Structure 1
């Protein structure tokens, strides 16, 4: 249920200038997408003329998130006073300093509840002034340099009684400017553009002067730490890892108990805003695989969950009686008990073998189901998207034509349906690398590269020299197409049945994990006549079950080959629990690529090595991982798509561009967007950058990630927040006798 919005972070442990996402990973200004910008496309080899594309949505459609938040919102007077909210997190945070490299989702949640943020994120992913801390904040000068004047809330004080002021702003700037290497910072973006910070006309004013224009100035000082933390390298590096003695939010950090796996937050007696309804919030570390059990036994009241647990909660809410043969069934065979357990939805791999143990396991399951009737599932879409990454540094994908062929072979609509339709969430493919639907910079730029068209994909491959049925050298001999077909058939047979039966995207957005069962969608093939006429491939071989095959489909004549080498891509995936969705999506992608003659070799690796040793190290051809959206894409998206450069020592500096595909034009557009203070102009520049990112086909956005939260039914103002920053002081339990209206936020 964590908010994902303010910024981007490296998927998994890799971090640089991007901001850590509250998992983890986080949105933009008003304004709407314009159709004409979809026609822009420039390739590394030169300009490509692209016709204007049909299907541009209306301004109203473009300005709305695909799914709203689902938190059971009620007015504060309907929330009971007091109580403890037990909230599941993945782990006790290693640090409470969000600006350190090992900050995680728990770090962000603590910071949101106990520290000042000058700006928060609204339901459309836009930064908005936080009146608890700011009376106003605006650019008052642009020449000769940009100056922002912050007017602070006169009641805003730290928990030790000291006023929040310029000294705190200045200390944070010095710590994060990047000028003092003694500070072990994970990111410096924006702070490195500040020239000076000084007191304004009075103690409530802070004057920030930039030496270079900075469009994303609203991203700064959120959160704001006291000068006690930021004032010295020792305090920054070590002082705020396990405690925060001085805070300024509706809650304060009472203790961090690693033995009990708890971070305990209690009401801040010096809080000047709307008082917190809860007495206490306990962030309790619970393994993802044990979330349903933790909810049922009262260990936690609310938790991010996977699809299997969501199904359990939904079924529990519908059941009025079990009708199960446990009592008086001492002689029931293990086979019947096992069959019955499977009909309940129990995990076959975890079922004990003996009938006595089976009965005990089933009884425990049913007891949990009884308790889960007090819970509901709240769902939305995370401000994060899953993408297919194409490593363009070497091999076949170093050729842009091959990358574009991969893009034209994919049915992104079918992949979105695979994950989202079974959850009742909008199955709309993501059309932008820099924003999500509802954000000001969003427009569907995928038309630049084109949709599903197997004929065009094969033409691109042929143009790149990959010929169907050509000789392939194996072990010093040339193998004919027949051998290649046998190998491909064996591989395809082993990959059949990659259905999404629950799971999540692993921990590769630094966090929130999703699952999705197999799609039961209907036919949604591309409607263009030439695509119907020239579609190739085996019927049903490229889409989820239930998706109709195009007419006249036929498989390529043997493997594609070039210079005696078959066209085969190494598809690397995580293998750990919770990666089922990625594996199911990868299986469908492999089938889609096979239709145009691109073979894939699935390599499942351990979760620990997946990102560090494969994606970040460039040891892959294809990979799936997620990026958070951001309220500040000019800052946060740039390192993800920046053109890799050779460092002084000869190594390649890729920042966070793990596809190794970038252009000077994209870098220039991000720089221009970052340097303009006109929001509409910045959004237009970002859309142009996105068009060029699409054209280079280094990464292909697929779908927005689902967000599923299990919560007690009487818990209000909590759940699947979508873009919006949680309001911790409004969270609580429904007052007795109060009523709630059905949530209107199902998108």
Structure 2
């Protein structure tokens, strides 16, 4: 929806995608713009892909592109699908809609001549008219049989299909052939505003037709495809996926002859670039700095932004400057935002006043600047849980909660019964010993510390203690799907960590707290207000730890202590976020073009399951309301575009008011690209056009946008 614990993107529609519709009598136009009073604005940062017209791009060549992993499945609708699964699907499978640069869905003319709601009463009917040239790689026309097979597989009616989700498909009543073989008629049993989210990607009936072919047939191979590229090989031994030009592709032919997706760990990518093994790779800020310095040394390249920009290059020139001189850093913001999650299942944060106090203590602008300003990117706090600036549903609804206000935060805490300098009961001996053991684990590897902890320290509390595990709730039955929406520690979150931290935060055990620290902390019923802040410890998570330190200092000012616990990347999501073993945590969700569908499980009110456990879906904060659920349900069933937007924005306002999660900043995306590589880099919202990627012809200079829609 990386450590940021990133939500997995919707296949085909990219980043948690989105569409809204307007209803009419017979033919219903799709809402592609905004309402008369557009609050969406523009994307905070433009994409950075070095666009070039197709006639400037050389024919042929191989693009070596770094990915996190070779996927375990090529079926995007299975629970262990990942970002690489989605990338492959975008290149080799049909998608009826793709996102533009503003994060809005647009008809994909390579597959669709048109798609319209042609009837609303008594049932909603959508008529797809397919591109007459669209065929599968085996020569068969793409048609109604493929749509129907995908609907049956994903409808949720047959448990033999191991699907990760069925949202939208469960509303379809039937799928029929239209007036001819190029028409597909989809009738909905219930109105569905987000119908544009469906059939992206579209798999052939050979994959979707039976449970066996769905569950196993498309995990390691795709025998039939229909994109500008075809899948040639999935090589787990050599950690590579090979895509080649599709000879049956009817659209603009792919410029590249081959794309090799190579699994390279984030911290190894700079070396792989220098060795000539990669042409395109997402990188961390330290690698970006090395490439910037190499470019400056050669008189070219993107100037280094932020602190240290004026430092002479010769003093910090990387050893591999010569090899890295052929690359540049392409910067933008991912359609993904980082949030502070507050676990409201029990403990102090079960009280909405305390959650609101935490939120009012935060200077979100300062936190965004800490991550984005050193990278030369705009530091604009995110104002919505459900969309990002530029998308149709975006509006800054943070006013429903209120901005940074220390006095108001303190008043909320006082109202909740927390007082400064209150008496604190002495810990039981075993609790104290356990706390000392945790404190002594700082700096050890995750496998050396109890429970996967990789170091614990307290900001804002003296050594007299307090319970570090308030607010924990582990559901007896875990109804979450890790791979369905969130991935662990594969990418960085932003800037290099700032040096230093809160006074005493990293001091050796036994060091006295700063004068007045203990007396300034809040207590209630003999217990201090200490929140456990869980963070990943692996490489690439430095920015999250920087942000966490900043948050801890802000909370300390209003009397809230934080016990920061670093855990292994492998343990972070599984053992802490999904199971509710945290008070505060940082992870990310992508923006979606279809929030009524995609965001509902993230903010749905947890409900008891049949076995007595708590079904939280993807709502890892355990904070939800009936009103928010109702607004999502209304939006999903509303075919009027303006009303749809209004309902989504109302839902976001209520989510802000409940203070279960606090959006902070849009995540940076830093892509190292070979300088002559065009139409590729930091894509922002836009679905990549794989057929336009390539290397410039000798002597050519990028000066125009590529052709294609």
- TM-score between both structures, scaled by the size of structure 1: 0.79
Indicate whether 1:242 and 2:220 are aligned: yes
Residue number in structure 2 paired with 1:566? 528
- Answer yes or no: is the 8 Å Cα contact 2:3–2:544 preserved in 1: no
Matched, 1:387 2:339: yes
Structure 1 residue aligned with 2:178: 200
**Alignment-derived partner of residue 468 in structure 2:** none
Deviation at 1:123? Answer: 0.6
CA-CA distance at 1:32 after TM superposition: 5.3
* Structure 1 residue 456 displacement after superposition: 0.5
Matched, 1:689 2:651: yes
**SS of 2:593 mapped into structure 1:** coil
Alignment of 1:515 onto 2:488: no
1:641 matched to which residue of 2? Answer: 603
Q: Give distance in 2, aligned partners of 1:10 and 1:655.
A: 20
The CA RMSD over aligned residues, in Å, is 3.0
- Alpha-carbon shift at residue 513 of structure 1 (Å): 3.1
> Could you say which residue in structure 2 is the equivalent of 1:704?
666
Evaluate the alpha carbon distance shift between residue 320 and residue 377 of structure 1 in structure 2; reply closer, same or farther with a 3 A threshold. closer
1:336 corresponds in structure 2 to none
How do residues 523-534 of structure 1 correspond to structure 2 at under 5 angstroms? Answer: none
The answer on 1:344 being equivalent to 2:316 is yes
Asked if structure 1 preserves the Cα contact closer than 8 Å seen for 2:460 and 2:561, the reply is: no
Look up the match of 2:43.
65
TM-fit CA distance, 1:129: 0.3
Asked if 2 retains the 8 angstrom alpha-carbon contact of 1:415 and 1:588, the reply is: yes
Deviation for aligned residue 1:300: 1.1
Spell out, residue by residue over 1:42-94, the C-alpha distance to the aligned partner (whole angstroms, 9 max, x if none).
xxxxxxxxxxxxxxxxx5x8420001110000111111111111111111111
Per-residue deviation, 1:21: 9.2
Are the equivalent residues in 2 in contact too, given 1:10–1:20 (CA < 8 A)?
no
Q: Alpha-carbon deviation of 1:263?
A: 0.8
Report the Cα offset of residue 490 of structure 1. Answer: 6.3
How far did 1:341 drift? 13
Which secondary structure does the structure 2 equivalent of 1:186 belong to?
A: coil
CA positional deviation for 1:25? 6.4
Contact 1:33 1:441 in 2 (8 A): no
1:318-351 deviations in whole A, cap 9, x for unaligned?
1149xxxxxxxxxxxxxxxxxx999537xxxxxx
How high is the TM-score relative to the length of structure 2?
0.84
Instruction: Tell me whether 1:724 sits opposite 2:676 in the alignment.
Output: no
Residue 41 of structure 1 is matched in structure 2 by none
CA contact 1:560–1:567 (8 Å) conserved in 2 = yes
> Does residue 584 in structure 1 map to residue 557 in structure 2?
no
CA contact (8 A) 2:488 2:572 kept: no
Displacement after TM superposition at 1:559 (Å): 1.9
Aligned counterpart for 1:276 among listed residues 220, 240, 254: 254
2: CA distance, partners of 1:24 / 1:200: 32
User: What secondary structure, in the 3-state scheme, does the structure 1 residue paired with 2:129 have?
Assistant: strand
Structure 1 residues 221 and 135, CA gap change in structure 2 (3 angstroms): same
| Ranges in structure 1 where 5+ consecutive residues have no aligned partner | 1-7, 36-58, 322-339, 346-364, 480-484, 493-505, 521-538, 543-553
Structure 1, residues 94-138: CA drift from partner, whole Å, max 9, x if none?
A: 111111111111111110000000000001111100000000001
CA shift at 1:19, angstroms?
Answer: 4.0
Matched, 1:223 2:201: yes
Q: Give the whole-Å Cα distance in 1 for the aligned partners of 2:94 and 2:417.
A: 58
Partner of 1:598 in structure 2? 560
**Residues matched between the structures, number:** 626
Given the superposition, is the C-alpha separation of residues 445 and 31 from structure 1 closer, same or farther in structure 2, using an over 3 Å criterion?
farther
Q: CA deviation at 1:558?
A: 2.6
2:632 aligns with one of 654, 662, 670? 670
**1:398 Cα deviation after fit:** 0.3
Decide whether the 8 Å contact of 2:240 with 2:260 is kept in 1: yes
Provide the residue aligned with 1:157 in structure 2: 135
C-alpha deviation, 1:517, in angstroms: 2.9
* Residues in 2 aligned to 1:394 and 1:125: alpha-carbon distance in whole angstroms: 37
* 1:93 equivalent in structure 2: 71
1:413-466 CA distance string (max 9 Å, x none): 000000001111110000000000001111111111111110000000000000
User: Using the alignment, how far apart are the partners of 2:16 and 2:271 within structure 1?
Assistant: 26
Q: Following superposition of structure 1 onto structure 2, how do residues 401-480 of structure 1 map, counting pairs within 5 Å?
A: 401-475=353-427
Distance (Å, rounded) in 2 between the aligned partners of 1:736 and 1:440? 41
The change in CA–CA distance for 1:314 and 1:741 in structure 2 (over 3 A counts) is farther
Q: How far apart are the structure 1 equivalents of 2:329 and 2:358?
A: 37
Q: How far 1:469 moved relative to its partner?
A: 1.2
Q: Separation in 1 of the partners of 2:296 and 2:583?
A: 45
Change (3 A) 1:259 1:721: same
Output one character per residue of 1:587-622: Cα deviation in whole Å (capped at 9) or x when no partner: 010000000000110111111111111111011110
1:515 deviation in Å?
Answer: 2.5
Q: CA 1:300–1:212 in 2, change beyond 3 Å: closer, same or farther?
A: same
Residue number in structure 2 paired with 1:146: 124
8 A Cα contact 1:421 1:519, kept in partner: no
CA distance in 1, matches of 2:260, 2:701: 26
User: Distance between the aligned counterparts of 1:19 and 1:10, measured in 2?
Assistant: 19
Deviations, residues 2-39 of structure 1 (Å, cap 9, x unaligned): xxxxxx39985998xx846999765456555899xxxx
State the Cα distance separating 1:561 from its structure 2 match: 1.0
Specify whether residues 393 and 33 from structure 1 end up closer, same or farther in structure 2 by C-alpha distance, changes over 3 A only: farther
Equivalent residue number for residue 123 of structure 1:
101
Q: Measured at CA, do residues 486 and 601 of structure 1 come closer, stay the same or move farther in structure 2, by a change above 3 Å?
A: closer
Match of 2:280?
302
